[in-house]
Chain A
Amino acid sequence: MTRSPATRPVPVLALGDVLLVTLQGELRDEAAEQLRYDIVRRIGAGPSPVGGVVIDVSGVETVDSFLGRVLAEIAGSARLLATRTVLSGMRPAVAITLVELGLMLPGLVTALDVESALSLLKDTPSQTLPGHPAHPAFTEEGA
């Protein structure tokens, strides 16, 4: 069986104390599950403290209920380990599709791009981020 590039683990980069994960193109289920494990292990077991996680999905054309669930679970597990997660760069077509699919991912903090995600993590005290958003960078409003 040939292993396409998509089966390789997704790199988790350290940017200061923030973990930056960039998802690109087709992500296989197996790679998504592996990513969840890699991020959570890194937060819980070091080597250095993690102040936040940014997952950039600007390169992702399709988010189905499986990938959506994995992303929400990464954020949930990170939260239990006292670490905040911000999902950045979702494409408009993906956002429209997720809402119609019925998957609105409450509890998943979002930002329009990586830069906003990083400043969100930097500017917001960790206690206020996971709960109800009260920061101008949050663009989600009840429609």
Chain B
Amino acid sequence: MHDPLSPTTRLPIDSDADLSRVRQRVRQAAADLGFRLVPQTKLVTAASELARNTLVHGGGGHMEMTLLGDGARRGLRLSFVDTGPGIPDVERAMTDGYSTGGGLGLGLGGARRLVREFALDTRPGRGTTVTITDWATGLPSPRTGAS
């Protein structure tokens, strides 16, 4: 089981200043855990996409960051939580090019390609939580969900 190494940190996502703060905090945590540069950059970019979704589609919310230990492995779990309208058609929302926010529509599908573990929980009218987890190892990450 993945044991938290420390209490979960909670960061608000209510403005574009918060998006910057999320990126900075995730980068720092990943660097501290020993993530190499490329996985670190992918994780921060995924976090940026998901935090922007929380802000733009979810009407704001927060991120929960937990440092994980699993034997010798160190990992980072990030949950992006909003209480917005939810995603009516998840499959469609994961498709590249589908956007309701004026973006490029790469946010969800793109973020999923950048990390090893991706989970989405959405309830129409109640909100959305997207959780991603990645691990700091010397091995290249397996390609999950890539076509």
- Would you call A45 an interface residue if the criterion is a C-beta within 8 Å of the partner chain's C-beta atoms? no
CB contacts (< 8 Å) of B48 on chain A: these are 62, 64, 66
- Would you call B44 an interface residue if the criterion is a C-beta within 8 Å of the partner chain's C-beta atoms? yes
- Would you call B34 an interface residue if the criterion is a C-beta within 8 Å of the partner chain's C-beta atoms? no
Known contacts A100-B113, A103-B104; is-contact A30 B16 (Cβ 8 Å): yes
In angstroms, how far is the closest chain B Cβ from the Cβ of A92? 8
When chains A and B are docked, how far (Å) is the Cα of A62 from the Cα of B20? 10
Number of interface residues of A (CB under 8 A): 25
Number of interface residues of B (CB under 8 A): 28
Interface string of A49-69 (1 = CB under 8 A from B): 000000000000111111011
- Would you call B70 an interface residue if the criterion is a C-beta within 8 Å of the partner chain's C-beta atoms? no
When chains A and B are docked, how far (Å) is the Cα of A103 from the Cα of B42? 13
Q: Please pick, from B16, B20, B44, B114, the residue contacting A100 in the complex, using a CB distance under 8 A.
A: B114
Q: Which residue of chain A is the closest to B39 with respect to CB atoms?
A: A93
When chains A and B are docked, how far (Å) is the Cα of A109 from the Cα of B136? 34
When chains A and B are docked, how far (Å) is the Cα of A94 from the Cα of B44? 11
- Would you call A80 an interface residue if the criterion is a C-beta within 8 Å of the partner chain's C-beta atoms? no
Q: Is the interface of B mostly helix, strand, loop or mixed?
A: helix
* Pairwise interchain contact B16-A101, C-beta atoms closer than 8 A: no
* Pairwise interchain contact A26-B20, C-beta atoms closer than 8 A: yes
Q: Please pick, from B16, B24, B96, B114, the residue contacting A97 in the complex, using a CB distance under 8 A.
A: B114
* Pairwise interchain contact B109-A61, C-beta atoms closer than 8 A: no
**Quick one: which of B87-119 are within 8 Å of A by CB?**
96, 103-104, 106-107, 109-111, 113-114
When chains A and B are docked, how far (Å) is the Cα of A29 from the Cα of B37? 24
Name the residue among B41, B107, B110 with the largest chain A CB count within 10 angstroms.
B41
B contact set with A: CB distance below 8 Å? 16-17, 19-20, 23-24, 27, 37-38, 40-42, 44-45, 48-49, 52, 96, 103-104, 106-107, 109-111, 113-114, 146
Query: What are 20 A-B residue pairs whose CB atoms fall within 8 Å in the complex?
Result: A6-B20, A26-B20, A28-B19, A28-B20, A61-B27, A61-B44, A62-B27, A65-B49, A66-B52, A66-B103, A93-B38, A93-B41, A96-B42, A97-B38, A97-B41, A100-B42, A100-B110, A101-B111, A101-B113, A103-B110
